[in-house]
A and B are shown apart, each in its own frame.
Chain A
């Protein structure tokens, strides 16, 4: 509590003062490129994104075939460059998680953790790293030790042992928050390495009350009325049970991320968004690009091209042009 008092009394959920021209949900190659083109067309553009390594490109270790980038770089580095380029043209990037949207209202409303944002046009570029299935026990014990928000619930686990499952910067940041309360944080990384910036990995491993398990798959959350432990499969040692009273889950999967849309847009049988040739969805002023569409090759350059195409289509509509303009300097 004392810490939160020092955090200031921010008007986080106050009514939005600014109406953006475009809000892009998701800052991967599709979203970042859309923002680059939109901002260059002098449209006020906000990108809301969960973090550099929250999506497929940010998690990719090495990229060697992105046109114009001959050196081998990490996906996160490539994405960082795209964002910097977009920012140079005036796009704003906000690290936040979108909880829900109202796409039928005018302006469109985007509800994120830090506030409500409104825009004339919304672009959905959330990618396809949503979870496909829950861990056994997860749904039954939600709110009884299972949580998706360490900052919300960390204080309930003061002096107790907890587990964090995930491998991204989001998971690490949440685990670091938990170290202030929990006696021990068991960090269950499903991959052989953490997929996060080096400084965050160092900060995590330097914590005396964090135990890092690499290649650890969360199999089951144990307990009846309360979480009492987790069953974990370790690549090196096989199955173990850790006695914890809280489990914080930040795992990813391979499904298009559309849950925050609340059924406002039709989905294909495989859960993907559907668009026309100009990346328009069924709702006016709502576009979708990138892996959330599933109907294209999962390559950064293809997603980027879709972002650019959608941006030009949006510019045409907002500027009431009859045709797409390919060079806004004229």
Chain B
């Protein structure tokens, strides 16, 4: 049985006509038959297959997490289900856009938008944000924790994805909080969206671009990051 109904399929197909460059989805899965190791791998794969079939500029590559270890490591995939959204075609590029957990509910829109974003690479960030990103001295890993029923979450995830597209030093993950309870526990996620930057900077809610950047730029201040690490350890 199809996951997408006819109307949604038509809408996605229409949305994907805005793709300029080809995109490759690399899906990591395993144990798709109801095993405990990945509750939603089967559905995530089916969803990715259905979406990939809606544009000739979109391809899907399925990888098995326990077998394709090198590929998983190369793309920074450490949990499943995972989708890496990569620019394909003549100038392939990995902007660092990842989705961990099934992109269902409100996050389905995020999934489609992430494909478009990687395809056309128009991040629409403010000149000030771009200036700040240019000053980054080290890699930034943004994890945005979400639930499928959270209407505020897509804005937080897409902002993180736009930053990843704009800066080679930024990688952005959508993480479905309920599917990865160990991470929710580790990062004390009791409400979403919750954004975690380089493990220790925590932001509640879908904050505006300027506010997120203010928090994010702390990564350049090693003394401040050390303080946050110590604070994080003590709680």
Please state if B104 and A13 are interface contacts (CB–CB under 8 Å).
no
A151-B150, A152-B149, A156-B191 in contact; A9/B4 too (CB < 8 A)? yes
Which B residues are in CB contact (< 8 Å) with A153? 147, 150, 190-192
Q: Which residue of A lies closest to B15 (CB)?
A: A14
Which B residues are in CB contact (< 8 Å) with A144? 188, 190-191
- Which of B4, B189, B206, B208 is in CB contact (< 8 Å) with A156? B189
- Which of B105, B153, B206 is in CB contact (< 8 Å) with A7? B105
Please state if A145 and B190 are interface contacts (CB–CB under 8 Å).
yes
Please state if A152 and B150 are interface contacts (CB–CB under 8 Å).
yes
Which A residues are in CB contact (< 8 Å) with B178? 1, 155-156
Q: Which residue of A lies closest to B208 (CB)?
A: A262
Q: Within 8 Å of chain A (Cβ to Cβ): is B89?
A: no
Please state if B148 and A7 are interface contacts (CB–CB under 8 Å).
yes
A1-B40, A143-B194, A156-B184 in contact; A13/B149 too (CB < 8 A)? no
Q: Which residue of A lies closest to B106 (CB)?
A: A12
- Which of B40, B102, B109 is in CB contact (< 8 Å) with A11? B109
Which B residues are in CB contact (< 8 Å) with A111? 155
Q: Which of B5-13, B23-31, B69-77 contacts A (4 or more CB under 8 A)?
A: B5-13
A9-B47, A152-B151 in contact; A99/B206 too (CB < 8 A)? yes
Please state if A152 and B192 are interface contacts (CB–CB under 8 Å).
yes
A12-B151, A113-B151, A156-B184 in contact; A4/B104 too (CB < 8 A)? yes
Please state if A15 and B15 are interface contacts (CB–CB under 8 Å).
yes
Separation of A5 and B179 alpha carbons in the complex (Å)? 13
Please state if A152 and B11 are interface contacts (CB–CB under 8 Å).
no
Shortest distance in angstroms between A269's beta carbon and chain B's nearest beta carbon? Answer: 24
Please state if A149 and B109 are interface contacts (CB–CB under 8 Å).
no
Separation of A149 and B147 alpha carbons in the complex (Å)? 11
Shortest distance in angstroms between A259's beta carbon and chain B's nearest beta carbon? Answer: 12
Which A residues are in CB contact (< 8 Å) with B184? 156
Interface residues of B in 174-194 (CB under 8 A from A): 177-179, 184, 188-194
- Which of A4, A14, A151, A262 is in CB contact (< 8 Å) with B112? A14
- Which of A4, A14, A99 is in CB contact (< 8 Å) with B105? A4
Please state if B149 and A10 are interface contacts (CB–CB under 8 Å).
no
How many chain A residues touch B (CB < 8 A): the figure is: 34
Which B residues are in CB contact (< 8 Å) with A147? 190-191
Shortest distance in angstroms between B54's beta carbon and chain A's nearest beta carbon? Answer: 12
Separation of A226 and B191 alpha carbons in the complex (Å)? 12
Which B residues are in CB contact (< 8 Å) with A226? 190
A11-B15, A99-B206, A262-B208 in contact; A156/B177 too (CB < 8 A)? yes
Q: Within 8 Å of chain B (Cβ to Cβ): is A114?
A: yes
Which A residues are in CB contact (< 8 Å) with B3? 9
Q: Within 8 Å of chain B (Cβ to Cβ): is A317?
A: no
- Which of A10, A113, A143 is in CB contact (< 8 Å) with B8? A10
- Which of A7, A145, A146, A262 is in CB contact (< 8 Å) with B149? A7
Shortest distance in angstroms between A137's beta carbon and chain B's nearest beta carbon? Answer: 14
Residues of A in contact with B (beta carbons under 8 Å apart): 1, 4-5, 7-15, 99-100, 111, 113-114, 142-147, 149, 151-156, 225-226, 246, 262
Residue contacts A-B, CB under 8 angstroms, 8 given: A4-B148, A7-B104, A9-B4, A10-B108, A12-B106, A14-B109, A153-B192, A155-B177
With A13-B155, A152-B152 already in contact, 13 other A-B pairs whose C-beta atoms are closer than 8 Å: A1-B102, A1-B104, A4-B104, A4-B148, A10-B8, A12-B109, A12-B154, A14-B15, A113-B152, A143-B194, A149-B150, A156-B177, A226-B190
Residues of B in contact with A (beta carbons under 8 Å apart): 3-5, 8, 11-12, 15, 39-40, 43, 47, 102, 104-106, 108-110, 112-113, 147-155, 158, 177-179, 184, 188-194, 202, 204-206, 208, 235
For the complex of A and B, 8 pairs with smallest distance between CB atoms: A113-B151, A152-B150, A9-B108, A143-B204, A4-B148, A13-B109, A4-B105, A143-B191
